[in-house]
Amino acid sequence: MKNKTLLIISREYLTRIQKKSFIIITILMPVLLVAMIVLPVLFMTLSEKRQFSRILVVDESEVFINNFQDNEHYEFCYRSGDIEQIKREAFDQDFDVVLQILSNSQGVKSNIYYKKNLPTGLQSEVESQMDDIFFNQLLKDSLSIDPQRFENMQTLAKSEAATIQIDDRGGEKEHDSEVNQIFGMMCGLIIYFIIIMFASLVLRGVLEEKSNRIVEVLLSSVKPAQLLVGKIVGIALVGLTQLVIWAALSGAILLGIQLAAPDLFSSDAVETVATTATSGEMLSNGAELAADPGNIFSMIQNYFPVSFGVIIFCFVFYFVVGYLIYSTLYAATGSVVDNESDSQQYTMPITIPLILAIVFVPSISTNPDGSLAMWLSMIPLTSPIAMMVRLPSGVPAWELLLSMGIALAFLVFCIWFAAKVYRIGIMTYGKKPSWRTIFRWLRQ
């Protein structure tokens, strides 16, 4: 019996890993995962490398003359006179922009004239400097306050709050909750798609063998339980093979990028992306999260309040257990119908909990310690997604162990249920059995 089961496992495994679709997805997925990490940093780093621009200022209010600050990106020059003539001459003199500041007693209004493309960030730079200059002028004229003294007071009055989580042992670790939420949501979504993808492969495989009557030939030499176990385990090994290759290729690509561009993940680049990702709010000491700010692997490790190794272990555990739960139920479904369209009647009640878990992912990520998140992480049909969404933000050890225990116990029940249904259903053709008939099979 053991040898026959191994032969079925080997057949399922080798048949699927030799398909072109397997090879393409296996290679493409790590590239996409790395792109999700690297591209935001790369784009923001490139956007910071703006071109040098020369700006000709025509100040009709006479408030801003000689007050703009030059920097590595911008040089400000000043002229007065007819704006139309200045515009015609400015672009012939290699000026990129003509800034006309209008004379207006109510606030400050200005026009920015450019000929080809407006340099990136120039408008925000001009507006920012104009706001500061005009505000300083108001401080002096209206309140008789020295702008430099006011700026020093503002600097002293600034506050900064770091987010530090205390673990069960009393240890402290600084991290950012928004990064944990985003990473948890990504893990939950990946688990969802992997489970659905590989469980559906089991369903289609059972349906194909049943509709082609191949199963009758197979059952002449093997038992239904052997065929069921072989198919499920074989496809599970395909999934694990992909996960291992994805992890290895992703790590290799990240390491290659790290070696080729060591400054890409510098603290400045990370701070820039962090600012953008949090809608203008800087991550709490984001540059200090990693022991080595230029090392992407140190940054990943230090972002989470739990060990990254624990996250990887739990990801594999919930993938395997979640896949086995849904694949056994999908295999049982495939055995009682003759085509894929008929299977929807039976797979929908099974899939609804998984869909609900996806619907509640935002709620779980924003409140990982809430009652909804806790109960969804205990229900076996939703725990693979709910627990992975919660885990990067920190989960009590007893909750994690209890969730794993319940999932394993439910898996045993699913295997027993699927074996009972598959044994009879795989040889049943024609009329679809009712739920009452299926539950009657369990007593046989």
At 162-212, the pLDDT tens digits run 666 666 666 666 555 666 777 778 888 888 888 888 888 888 888 877 777
Question: Is a pLDDT exceeding 80 seen at residue 218?
Answer: no
Give the per-residue pLDDT at 121. 79
Query: What is the per-residue pLDDT across 243-291, written as a single tens digit (0 to 9) for each?
Result: 888 888 888 887 787 777 766 655 454 444 444 444 444 344 443 444 4
| DSSP-derived secondary structure letter, 391 | G
Three-class secondary structure assignment of 276-329:
HHCCCCCCCCHHHCCCCCCCHHHHHHHCCCCCHHHHHHHHHHHHHHHHHHHHHH
Please enumerate in sequence order all residues whose Cβ is within 8 A of that of 49, keeping only pairs 6 or more positions apart, or say none. Answer: none
Question: pLDDT band at residue 410, thresholds of 50, 70 and 90?
Answer: very high
Q: Any idea how long the chain is? A: 444
Query: What is the per-residue pLDDT across 303-360, written as a single tens digit (0 to 9) for each?
Result: 555 667 788 888 889 988 998 899 888 888 888 877 777 777 778 888 899 889 999 9
Q: Which residues in 156-178 are b (16+ Cβ under 10 Å) and which e? A: eeeeeeeeebeeeeeeebebbbb
Place of tokens 């006011």: 150
Query: What is the per-residue pLDDT across 23-81, written as a single tens digit (0 to 9) for each?
Result: 888 888 888 877 776 776 666 665 555 567 889 999 988 888 889 999 888 899 999 98
Question: pLDDT band at residue 148, thresholds of 50, 70 and 90?
Answer: confident
Give the per-residue pLDDT at 409. 95
Place of tokens 């004239």: 113
Radius of gyration of the chain (CA): 31
Structural tokens at position 74 = 């911008």
Question: Is a pLDDT exceeding 50 seen at residue 138?
Answer: yes
Helix 224-260 crosses helix 397-425 at what angle (to 10 degrees)? 140
Of 183, 162, 206, the C-alpha closest to 33 is 183
For 60-122, where are the E strands, in sequence order? 74-78, 97-101, 110-114
The residues with which 112 forms a beta bridge, in sequence order, are: 99
Give the per-residue pLDDT at 193. 86
Other Cβ atoms closer than 10 A to 82: 9
Q: Are 299 and 194 in contact (CB under 8 A)?
A: no
Dump the DSSP string for 138-156. Answer: HHHHHS---HHHHHHHHHH
Give the per-residue pLDDT at 278. 43
Dump the DSSP string for 184-211. Answer: HHHHHHHHHHHHHHHHHHHHHHHHHHHH
**What is the location of CATH 3.40.190.10 in the chain?**
52-147
Q: Measure Cα distances from 60 to 55, 57, 79, 91, 432 in Å.
A: 16, 9, 10, 20, 85
For 60-175, where are the E strands, in sequence order? 74-78, 97-101, 110-114, 164-166, 172-174
Helix 224-260 crosses helix 308-336 at what angle (to 10 degrees)? 150
Question: pLDDT band at residue 120, thresholds of 50, 70 and 90?
Answer: confident
Structural tokens at position 69 = 């600050």
Question: Is a pLDDT exceeding 90 seen at residue 216?
Answer: no
Give the per-residue pLDDT at 279. 42
Tell me what the pLDDT averaged over the chain comes to: 78
Give the per-residue pLDDT at 181. 75
Please enumerate in sequence order all residues whose Cβ is within 8 A of that of 213, keeping only pairs 6 or more positions apart, or say none. Answer: none
Structural tokens at position 356 = 């609900």
Element (H, E) at 58: strand 53-59
Q: Are 340 and 212 in contact (CB under 8 A)?
A: no
Question: pLDDT band at residue 5, thresholds of 50, 70 and 90?
Answer: confident
Q: Are 314 and 400 in contact (CB under 8 A)?
A: yes
Give the per-residue pLDDT at 302. 55
Q: Measure Cα distances from 167 to 146, 170, 182, 184, 286 in Å.
A: 48, 5, 21, 18, 20
Tell me how far apart the alpha carbons of residues 286 and 269 are, in angstroms, rounded to a whole number: 10
Minimum mean pLDDT range among 65-79, 298-312, 365-379, 403-417: 298-312
Give the per-residue pLDDT at 303. 54
The domain 52-147 having CATH identifier 3.40.190.10: the answer here is: yes
Give the per-residue pLDDT at 204. 83
CA atoms 259, 261, 266, 271: torsion sign: negative
Query: What is the per-residue pLDDT across 90-102, written as a single tens digit (0 to 9) for each?
Result: 888 888 899 999 8
Please enumerate in sequence order all residues whose Cβ is within 8 A of that of 21, keeping only pairs 6 or more positions apart, or say none. Answer: none
Structural tokens at position 266 = 């510098």
